[in-house]
Amino acid sequence: MILENKLNITDAVELARVEEKLSKAKAHKLFTSGFLDSLDAGGFQALADIHLYLFGDIYDFAGKLRTVNMAKGNFRFAPVMYLKAALDNIETMPHSSFDEIIEKYVEMNIAHPFREGNGRSTRIWLDLILKQELKQVVDWSQVDKDDYLLAMERSPIKDIEINVLLKQALTDKINDSAIYMKGIDASYHYEGYTLYKTEECEKNNEKDSEDES
């Protein structure tokens, strides 16, 4: 099924290509503009703002709670009728230590609040919390795709694997743009988006804007 989109694209492959290019350019700008650091880490509103920033040019549902039930494999994410309650609960969870932050991250993944783009936006949200609370971020380029996906698959039962995996990849280079850009590319790679490099998307976006003017 092709998601309804603002660009009226009806081909799944083309939509994936355009979504990757546009949202990676926005991910780049999210960092360089300083908007990301202006958000209040830990709450759902920050995640919704990140999601809207990334996907607002593509989908009307960007930043809004999903209205359909979703599953991945045999795992069902929070049912729509309980989604708001799940998010209210996550909102109250503490996030002052690494263990607490990872527990909160796992619960947000289980909630899966958006129709599309949950993983990509929530990993940025996770780094924002780590940055503001612990002065660290995950160097996602050091986190193997298969290890990550398997650990996240098991995390609703026990979060020790994802905890150890991400702790090993922590860095204190919280304002390093190269770490961030490589991290976005790795994050998209987990979801199967590998056509563009984040830095190239922003440069191409700037060039397109200049050509139009």
Task: Look at 161 and 201; give whichever has higher pLDDT.
Answer: 161
Question: Which tens digit of pLDDT belongs to each residue from 65-117?
Answer: 999 999 988 889 999 999 999 999 999 999 999 999 999 999 999 999 999 99
- Residue 212 included in any domain: no
- Residue 211 included in any domain: no
- Residue 187 included in any domain: yes
Distance CA 105, CA 130 (A): 11
- Residue 2 included in any domain: no
- Residue 185 included in any domain: yes
Distance CA 6, CA 117 (A): 16
Q: If you average pLDDT over every residue of the chain, what do you get?
A: 94
- Residue 213 included in any domain: no
Query: Cα 201 vs. chain centroid, distance in angstroms?
Result: 17
User: Assign residue 42 a region: left if phi > 0, alpha if psi is -120 to 50, beta otherwise?
Assistant: left
- pLDDT of 207: 56
Question: Which tens digit of pLDDT belongs to each residue from 141-160?
Answer: 999 999 999 999 999 999 99
- pLDDT of 211: 54
**Per-residue H/E/C for the chain:** CCCCCCCCCCCHHHHHHHHHHHHHHHHHHHHHCCCHHHCCCCCHHHHHHHHHHHHCCCCCCCCCCCCCCCEECCEECCCHHHHHHHHHHHHHCCCCCHHHHHHHHHHHHHHCCCCCCHHHHHHHHHHHHHHHHHCCEECHHHCCHHHHHHHHHHCCCCCHHHHHHHHCCEECCCCCHHHHHHHHHHHHHHCCCCCCCHHHHHHHHHHHHHHHC
Question: Which tens digit of pLDDT belongs to each residue from 49-64?
Answer: 999 999 999 999 999 9
- Residue 5 included in any domain: no
Q: What total of structural domains would you count in the chain?
A: 1
- pLDDT of 205: 61
- pLDDT of 43: 94
* CATH number where 52 lies: 1.10.3290.10
- Residue 39 included in any domain: yes
Q: Are strands 71-72 and 75-76 parallel, antiparallel or unpaired?
A: antiparallel
Q: Residue 81 is part of which domain span?
A: 12-203
